[in-house]
């Protein structure tokens, strides 16, 4: 009796392993297939063909929804990742200028009243960087390789530079974007005293970037990653303000800025007409 159970268990393990690996043989990357698909196929012991058909359907059914605003830097950050991965999504506009982020309907999605909110079926995520890392991980074998899952050292370096963006670059850059780009666009007065206090803080960060980029094509290494992508929204806006001189006056930083802002995925993320032209719920 014990021998029969062992044989049955071994057979199940072999079939489970075969089913998982067969996804990539049949044109579907295993990393893109939802866990529920693996579980279903393994439990029902379907044929490879049946399993493939089901998992292919699930792997290409994104069904992503984004509550956001096309001018929002944080919304654009997530859009850039989706475009780098070649993924579709349904945009739902939350008009920040009209204050829709403060209304009960949106606060039920994010009580902090911030965009974007990202929906993947029953999963709801807020915070643009968390959303970006989720997408880049789920679809790690698709499109641009924005995270390194093969080397702990490379991942450590990428994580470090992503955190530098969050804690060192973003605070002064976001203030300057608000004062020099957002406020004039919506008819508010710029606080130039705050601008003058903040620019030196950004300069210190860019001085460090200039040194780093002397020996590295991108911040976390020789390939474009989330560490670079996270900078794009603020940089895009600041390059249309007097603060652009801080980037231009540093040759290596300037080369880096030109490279990352020229990426096709980023241009799509900045296309406001495309956002409003999509199907909206």
The radius of gyration of the chain from alpha carbons, rounded to an integer in Å, stands at 22
Do 205 and 100 have their domain in common?
no
Closest CA to 66 of 87, 45, 46: 87
CATH of the domain at 79: 3.40.30.10
State the residue range of the domain holding 21: 2-59
Do 136 and 273 have their domain in common?
yes
Q: Which among 21, 43, 59 is the end of a domain?
A: 59
CATH of the domain at 162: 1.20.1050.10
Per DSSP (E only), the strands in 61-122 are: 64-68, 90-93, 117-120
Q: What is the pLDDT of residue 50?
A: 61
Q: What is the pLDDT of residue 149?
A: 87
Q: What is the pLDDT of residue 68?
A: 98
Do 77 and 97 have their domain in common?
yes
Task: Report the alpha-carbon distance of residue 130 to residue 77 in Å, rounded.
Answer: 11
Q: What is the pLDDT of residue 14?
A: 40
**Tens place of pLDDT for every residue, the chain, 281 residues?**
555 554 444 444 443 443 444 444 334 444 444 444 544 455 555 555 565 455 445 544 558 999 999 999 999 999 999 999 999 999 999 999 999 999 999 999 999 999 999 999 999 999 999 999 999 999 999 999 999 989 999 999 999 999 999 999 999 999 999 999 999 999 999 999 999 999 999 999 999 999 999 999 999 999 999 999 999 999 999 999 999 999 999 999 999 999 999 999 999 999 999 999 875 43
Q: Which among 59, 81, 96 is the end of a domain?
A: 59
Task: Report the alpha-carbon distance of residue 97 to residue 14 in Å, rounded.
Answer: 57
Residue 39 contacts residue 64 (beta carbons within 8 Å): no
Predicted TM-score (pTM) of the model is 0.79
277: number of CA atoms within 13 Å, CB side? 5
Do 49 and 184 have their domain in common?
no
């Amino acid at each position: 009796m014990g021998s029969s159970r062992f044989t049955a268990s071994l057979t199940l393990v072999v079939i489970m392993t075969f089913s998982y690996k067969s996804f990539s043989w049949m044109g579907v990357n295993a990393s893109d297939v939802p866990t529920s698909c693996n579980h279903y196929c393994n439990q029902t012991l379907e044929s490879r063909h049946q399993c493939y058909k089901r998992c292919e359907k699930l792997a290409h059914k994104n069904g992503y929804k984004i509550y956001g605003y096309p001018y929002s830097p944080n919304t654009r950050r997530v859009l850039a990742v989706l475009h780098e991965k070649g993924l579709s999504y349904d945009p739902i506009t939350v008009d920040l200028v009209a204050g829709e982020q403060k209304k009960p309907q949106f606060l039920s999605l994010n009580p902090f009243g911030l965009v974007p909110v990202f929906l993947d079926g029953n999963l709801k995520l807020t915070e643009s960087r968390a959303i970006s890392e989720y997408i880049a991980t789920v679809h790690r074998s698709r499109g641009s390789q924005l995270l390194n899952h093969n080397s702990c050292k490379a991942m450590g370096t990428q994580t470090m530079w992503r955190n530098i963006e969050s804690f060192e670059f973003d605070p002064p850059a976001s203030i300057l974007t608000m004062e020099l780009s957002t406020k004039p666009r919506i008819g508010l007065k710029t606080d130039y005293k705050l601008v003058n206090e903040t620019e030196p803080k950004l300069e210190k960060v860019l001085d460090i970037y200039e040194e780093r980029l002397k020996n590295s094509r991108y911040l976390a290494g020789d390939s474009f990653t989330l560490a670079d992508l996270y900078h794009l929204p603020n940089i895009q806006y600041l390059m249309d303000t007097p603060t652009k001189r801080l980037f231009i006056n540093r040759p290596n930083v300037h080369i880096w800025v030109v490279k990352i802002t020229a990426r096709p995925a980023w241009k799509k993320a900045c296309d406001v007409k495309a956002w409003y032209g999509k199907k909206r719920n």
